[in-house]
A and B are shown apart, each in its own frame.
Chain A
Amino acid sequence: GAVVSQHPSWVICKSGTSVKIECRSLDFQATTMFWYRQFPKQSLMLMATSNEGSKATYEQGVEKDKFLINHASLTLSTLTVTSAHPEDSSFYICSARLPNLAGKYNEQFFGPGTRLTVL
């Protein structure tokens, strides 16, 4: 299947700093990528849809100025957590969608996730 990578796999930062997380589709082009956040023992929460060459679409309640998303190429989307605070500590996961295939609908491939800890 298709492979999606994330970098870094984990990061620890001080409160007030910004952190950039990269999401790459390694063997396919993804015009659309998605960013999720997951707190311990909870489900994934969709944060935003990242569209190549255009602005991201954020879900209700997600601050676009705090979570900056850039999808500069067909294989790379970045999520920057600006002025991070301890409450931003979470597991951030990206996914990329393959074009719809016969018999399948919107199958998505997920990255391994990035664990962010803000001190």
Chain B
Amino acid sequence: LAKTTQPISMDSYEGQEVNITCSHNNIATNDYITWYQQFPSQGPRFIIQGYKTKVTNEVASLFIPADRKSSTLSLPRVSLSDTAVYYCLVLNTDKLIFGTGTRLQVFP
């Protein structure tokens, strides 16, 4: 399973765009890049998944360069309720192996 590296923490203010980058240098051809969000004392929640280029949904965008060795989760105009831990996962099986995640703190 490809190992992922992402910043331990990030701070932002309400209304700003937040970009969280994840490195996955050993990503395999069959791997998909998936991001989950977790609030304190709750189970994680799926945010977005992609294989290459750009994926956008109602919550976030995911940018994946051609070499797929990294990916960037973009959260537009964050609010206080976006304060959470964001996990980047690279997978091609059922098993989700969570890394340390990025703790995003949004300030008023």
A110 to B89, CA, bound (A): 15
Closest to A59 in B: B95
Contact B96 A46 (CB under 8 A): yes
Contact A34 B94 (CB under 8 A): yes
- Contacts A43-B87, A43-B99, A43-B101; A106 near B44 (Cβ below 8 A): no
Contact with B along A92-104 (1 / 0, CB 8 A): 0111010000001
Contact B96 A95 (CB under 8 A): yes
Contact with A along B82-108 (1 / 0, CB 8 A): 000001000111111111110000000
CB contacts (< 8 Å) of A34 on chain B: these are 94-96
Contact A113 B49 (CB under 8 A): no
Specify which of B38, B91, B97 is in contact with A105 (CB 8 Å cutoff): B91
In the complex, what's the smallest C-beta–C-beta distance from B1 to chain A, in angstroms?
Answer: 11
Main secondary structure, interface of B, reads loop
Contact A113 B42 (CB under 8 A): yes
Asked whether any CB of chain B lies closer than 8 Å to the CB of A44, the reply is yes
Asked whether any CB of chain B lies closer than 8 Å to the CB of A80, the reply is no
B32, B42, B43, B96 interface centre (most CB from chain A within 10 Å): B43
Contact B94 A110 (CB under 8 A): no
Asked whether any CB of chain B lies closer than 8 Å to the CB of A77, the reply is no
CB contacts (< 8 Å) of A105 on chain B: these are 32, 34, 49, 91-92
Asked whether any CB of chain A lies closer than 8 Å to the CB of B13, the reply is no
Contact B43 A112 (CB under 8 A): yes
Contact A44 B44 (CB under 8 A): yes
Closest to A57 in B: B95
Contacts A/B (CB < 8 Å), 5 sampled: A43-B101, A46-B95, A93-B44, A104-B49, A106-B91
Q: Which 5 A-B pairs have the closest CB atoms?
A: A110-B43, A44-B98, A105-B32, A43-B98, A93-B43
B interface residues (Cβ-Cβ under 8 A, vs A): 32, 34, 38, 41-46, 49, 87, 91-101
Q: A45-B98, A46-B97, A49-B95 are in contact. List 13 more A-B contacts (CB 8 A).
A: A4-B43, A32-B94, A44-B44, A49-B94, A93-B43, A93-B44, A104-B49, A106-B94, A107-B34, A110-B43, A110-B44, A113-B42, A115-B41
